[in-house]
A and B are shown apart, each in its own frame.
Chain A
């Protein structure tokens, strides 16, 4: 059987709430990181507030429609980011959001490795038919990575986001189960 939680560069874990909160506190201060990952305004929360938020999530127990992972590098065993999934069990579609808070790991293939693990989890474990995501058009690095993973661009919502006085598009991508299987069998590019 496949190891679902181990890729080429990273592994999927779930860190303790206090560890997650400490990292999140630092990552929140990086507004470039925020603006790549999110369309809302940048926020600064206290460490206690963030920890409470993670703890509340944990108290709710296992939600079959929400999955959270922390991401660690294999080489240094460093905690660098997160991966979250929202799952529609009726229509068998999952939505993913990923982020690498530690900037020295940007542009080095870590995001692509995370996304490949995500696809494997969604199609080989959750039995989804489709995996979806949205991103800002100015996030060219993410777009290249997602294309490499086999996602197809399915359209753009025009001028959806206002940043620094400029309107920009949001891009929407998706990959179907059969497309992922083709890549696994080596029939993809």
Chain B
């Protein structure tokens, strides 16, 4: 039987949703004042952003989604109180090769290490593989981002590339890893884990 009842944007504690231009900028602005979060989420220099600057970024993002058609962006919300806790994206999609890149981040320290990343990743991968029908997805993680690396490994990603000394932070060079997961690997591995 073809199962179309599974809600793609809902998990036990979370749901994925669009940007709320009124409420989200204030919260995301707060995250940008935490350099640890910014350095885990971004390769670009960490810098505090005002709510107005975040709002501008959302507008730019929506324009990009409309024009380039190779990007999907989600806000991650806790069902409880409909609270914004993070964001996720599938980007750089090459439709002719059916591949793309994924990224996700949980903004506030108190929301980390609660399994939210795992639930968000489940939804993101299901969307990439069962809705966009991608053949493979890639993800980047610097060698110092232990949380991201553990999450990717948990979902069966293979570390495929180690770009030596690709980043500079705290006065030293760091490797940047590229991970990959194929649709068939997701179907046989993480999928069955999810159902167990």
- Residues of A with Cβ closer than 8 Å to B? 39-41, 90-93, 129-130, 132, 152, 154-162, 167, 172, 174, 176
| Residues A167 and B135 in contact, CB atoms below 8 Å apart | yes
A162–B96 alpha-carbon span in the complex (Å): 7
| Residues A155 and B178 in contact, CB atoms below 8 Å apart | yes
A129–B164 alpha-carbon span in the complex (Å): 10
- Give the residues from 102 to 140 in chain B that come closer than 8 angstroms, CB to CB, to chain A: 135-136, 138
Smallest Cβ-Cβ distance to B167: which chain A residue: A91
A40–B92 alpha-carbon span in the complex (Å): 12
Question: Chain B's nearest CB lies how many Å from the CB of A112?
Answer: 22
| Residues B135 and A155 in contact, CB atoms below 8 Å apart | no
| Residues A155 and B162 in contact, CB atoms below 8 Å apart | yes
Q: Is B52 an interface residue (CB 8 A)?
A: no
0/1 string, B152-195, CB within 8 A of A gives 1: 00000011111111111000010000101010000000000000
A91–B138 alpha-carbon span in the complex (Å): 21
Q: Which of B98, B167, B180 contacts A158 (CB 8 A)?
A: B180
Q: Could you list 18 further interchain pairs (A-B, Cβ under 8 angstroms) beyond the known A157-B136, A159-B182?
A: A41-B96, A90-B45, A90-B168, A92-B168, A129-B165, A130-B163, A130-B165, A130-B166, A154-B163, A155-B160, A158-B180, A159-B136, A160-B97, A161-B99, A172-B161, A174-B166, A176-B164, A176-B165
A149–B133 alpha-carbon span in the complex (Å): 39
Smallest Cβ-Cβ distance to A134: which chain B residue: B161
Q: List chain B residues, Cβ under 8 A from A155.
A: 159-163, 178
Q: List chain B residues, Cβ under 8 A from A93.
A: 166
20 contacts between A and B (CB under 8 A): A91-B167, A91-B168, A93-B166, A129-B173, A132-B166, A155-B160, A155-B163, A155-B178, A156-B160, A157-B136, A158-B182, A159-B136, A160-B97, A160-B99, A160-B136, A161-B97, A162-B97, A162-B135, A172-B161, A174-B163
